[in-house]
Amino acid sequence: MKRVSWSIFLLFALTCSILGQEKPVAFINARIIPIVGAPIEQGILLVQNGKISAVGDARVVRLSSDVTIVDLKGKVVMPGLVDSHSHVGEPAGADGSGPIQPDVRTLDSVNARASSFQRAQSGGITTVNVMPGSGHLDSGQTLYLKNRDGAVKIDDLLIYDKSGKYKFANGTNSIRAGGGSFPGTRAKSVALVREQFIKAQEYRDKIAKAGTDKSKLPARDLAMEALVEVLEGRRVVHFHTHRHDDIMTVLRLQKEFGFKVVLQHVSEGWKVADEIAKAKVPASIILVDSPGGKLETMDISFDTARILEKAGALVGFHTDDYITDSRVFFRQAALAVRAGMPRDKALYGLTMANAIMLDLQDRVGSLEAGKDADFLVLSGDPLSVYTHVLETWVEGKKVFDLSDPKDHVIAVGGNGATNDRMVHLDCFDGDIEGGQE
């Protein structure tokens, strides 16, 4: 009886093991741009269980007889894009009660079912840093998300081991005329931030001094807990900043308190490129190719990426969606190349550089064995205006297909196609379910 039970158990375990292993899929004959390393002509990308098993040409990648083959002759394959600064998912952070609110979590405000995530998929974005706005000196905690399909709650999109970081800002956005709790000048803005960091240091020291004596612990303070995580390097600060003097202010604060920082926007970064590079601080930039906007961005330049990269800084790009539509994220790199940035560095800025800024370089940003199977199938050169994102894959699952009518309308439709809060006519000829007009 024991032998029979043991045999049944082994059979059950073996069956579960077999069923748990997805059949490997080989994407062949594409021009593969792995980002780290030279492009591979007639390359092979082998995917299984949501991970990249191998990448190379036929001399390097050997295929077994049970592999499913997908022939992508004439197509281009590259890693999914990483957006280091976006507002997809309708996030909301701090309110008008004060200029510094580190205890506020974007996690508690993002709509996981928002169609803006599908808009990002159609632009090839597979990983995204969702941030609250920049109307505060500190508007709260950001979220690192994967653009997976079928999310019913925010937990379905979270990258759990890298849950998110912080959004800080300086410049005109957080300045309020008439006083109150918000600053009226740039100098007062910095004074308020410095004051909070000093309080966080004192809070941290009190906890350390208390040791195991709970009676000596300070009253729990969620805001201070959050800032202590910044001081200890457990959370990166994504710092909205435009003017060269504001950028230098961020670098001074970073040096004084020792936190990790990523500069966001840096419209005048080209004016202080050597200082940014010397500080070893990465810069995520946006290139806006239309007039308008705030006065502090009047000296924005297409040359910024080239100048920063030449100076030795790590340079990435972001959409700040809806400032730049997620569907045209490739344009950021293309404009930088047009201004003289090396082509490979521009593509790196859409992928691996941003992955490093989010501390996700071990999972995304390049096509390498062991990394998440996040990749794109393109109709042609990634920096050509004539190229389309044909397919977007996240962790080995197709989340966007241009040939699907519902995905197609997301990719090419107007604002009504991807804005859940806008009243608009149905974009389809008939209803989705029955096809009736």
Quote the DSSP letter at residue 286: -
As a whole number of angstroms, the distance between CA 314 and CA 301 comes to 17
Q: What is the mean pLDDT of residues 54-82?
A: 95
- 382's CB contacts (< 8 A; 6+ apart) are 33, 76, 78, 330, 333, 347
Element (H, E) at 393: strand 389-394
Distance of CA 2 to the CA centre of its chain: 54
Ranges of H-type helices in 23-176: 116-122
Q: How confident is the model at residue 177 (pLDDT cuts 50, 70, 90)?
A: confident
Least confident of 117-126, 378-387, 405-414: 405-414
CA distances from 305 to 122, 123, 286, 297, 312 (A): 25, 21, 9, 15, 11
Q: What is the mean pLDDT of residues 124-148?
A: 96
* Residue 283 φ then ψ, to 5°: -130, 125
Q: What is the pLDDT of residue 68?
A: 96
Could you tell me which residues are beta bridge partners of residue 27? 45, 70
- CA atoms in the 13 A half-sphere facing the CB of 278: 8
The amino acid at 67 = V
Q: What is the pLDDT of residue 291?
A: 59
**Domains, the chain, ordered by start:** 2-74 (2.30.40.10), 79-366 (3.20.20.140)
Q: What is the pLDDT of residue 163?
A: 57
Q: What is the pLDDT of residue 288?
A: 82
As a whole number of angstroms, the distance between CA 249 and CA 170 comes to 9
Give 364-375 pLDDT, tens digit per residue: 999 999 999 999
Exposed e or buried b per residue across 276-286, where buried means at least 16 C-beta atoms within 10 angstroms of its C-beta: bbebebbbbbb
Give 278-296 pLDDT, tens digit per residue: 999 999 999 887 656 788 9
Q: What is the mean pLDDT of residues 288-310?
A: 88
Look up residue 202 and give its two tokens: 């004192």
As a whole number of angstroms, the distance between CA 81 and CA 79 comes to 6
As a whole number of angstroms, the distance between CA 201 and CA 227 comes to 9
Quote the DSSP letter at residue 372: B
pTM for the whole thing?
A: 0.90
Look up residue 410 and give its two tokens: 């997301």
Ranges of H-type helices in 284-351: 304-311, 330-338, 343-350
The answer to whether residue 415 scores a pLDDT higher than 80 is no
- CA atoms in the 13 A half-sphere facing the CB of 65: 0
Give 37-49 pLDDT, tens digit per residue: 999 999 999 999 9
The answer to whether residue 436 scores a pLDDT higher than 80 is no
Quote the DSSP letter at residue 414: -
What Rg, from alpha-carbon coordinates, does the chain have? 24
